[in-house]
Amino acid sequence: GQNIDQPTEMTATEGAIVQINCTYQTSGFNGLFWYQQHAGEAPTFLSYNVLDGLEEKGRFSSFLSRSKGYSYLLLKELQMKDSASYLCAVLDSNYQLIWGAGTKLIIKP
Amino acid sequence: TAGITQAPTSQILAAGRSMTLRCTQDMRHNAMYWYRQDLGLGLRLIHYSNTAGTTGKGEVPDGYSVSRANTDDFPLTLASAVPSQTSVYFCASSLAGVESYEQYFGPGTRLTVT
């Protein structure tokens, strides 16, 4: 079966750094997405990785290791507005997105 | 720019009644999707359409039907609603296979079946 695992909830302090991990087992792999979803809102795109390595975009970075079935999203200089759920999704062999349940990130002052 | 719109924003529906959730995009995306999102679960694909005139079943299609008469519209119909269909429904679109597989989401419809 297809499976994507990420922690249910994480807590971090404003101004700090947090790493949200995602492991996956899917039928085929055509890339991995990270989305941000604020409570009561729609998911919005953060990053896409298809090759191994680190992709940096401002305060957010995303890492992929295809051989380990592993990705992480790194958020630096945390702000209160970063309080949200972060969704990991894998594009499978049929080019459909398989979604993790999401990690709720709580930022404390 | 509207992007993707969904209607209604929320709805309370009696079990056994039918309902159509509307979704319209103005980005000329070829692919469209319907997901449901339930607490503690990831987004689950209900139905999808890779291009106007074609549709496919996702992970949880039972009790739902879709049509794709044109590029812009992708309505989702519940023929006879049941309480387990209480959920938040998201419509999404992408330029799948054309540019990228990044999906753009509508604001969602909160449906409660009583």
Reply yes or no on whether the pLDDT at B2 is more than 80: no
Q: How many percent of chain A have pLDDT more than 70?
A: 100
Question: CB contacts < 8 Å between A and B, how many?
Answer: 47
Most distant CA pair in chain A, distance: 43
Mean pLDDT of A33-43: 97
CA distance B36 to B43: 6
CA-angle at B84, arms to B80 and B90, nearest 5°: 85
Q: How many percent of chain B have pLDDT more than 90?
A: 89
Q: List the structure tokens of B17.
A: 């009644």
CB half-sphere exposure, B32, CA atoms < 13 A: 31
Q: How many percent of chain A have pLDDT more than 90?
A: 94
Q: What share of chain B is helix, strand, coil (3-state, %, to 5)?
A: 5, 45, 50
pLDDT of residue A23: 98
Q: Which residue has the tokens 């890339």?
A: A31
User: Taking CB atoms and an 8 Å limit, are A42 and B108 in contact across chains?
Assistant: yes
Mean pLDDT of A41-55: 96
A45-104 residues touching B, CB cutoff 8 A: 45, 48, 87, 89, 91, 95-102
Q: For residue A82, count CB atoms less than 10 angstroms from its CB and return exposed for 0-12, middle for 13-18, buried for 19 or more.
A: buried
Reply yes or no on whether the pLDDT at B45 is more than 90: yes
Mutate which of B10, B101, B109, B110 to test chain A, going by most A C-beta atoms within 10 A? B101
Mean pLDDT of A59-64: 98
User: Taking CB atoms and an 8 Å limit, are B42 and A45 in contact across chains?
Assistant: no
Q: Which residue has the higher pLDDT, A10 or B39?
A: A10
Residue B98: pLDDT band (50, 70, 90) is low
Mean pLDDT of B35-62: 95
Reply yes or no on whether the pLDDT at A53 is more than 80: yes
- Number of Cβ atoms within 10 Å of the Cβ of B114: 10
Tell me phi and psi for residue B78, to 5 degrees: -105, 115
Q: Which residue has the tokens 């296979």?
A: B97
CA distance B107 to B92: 9
For A64-109, the pLDDT digits (tens) are: 999 999 999 999 999 999 999 999 999 999 888 999 999 999 999 9
Mean pLDDT of B25-53: 95
CA distance B113 to B94: 29
Helix intervals (H) in B1-114:
none
Reply yes or no on whether the pLDDT at B99 is more than 80: no
- Number of Cβ atoms within 10 Å of the Cβ of B71: 18
pLDDT of residue B100: 79
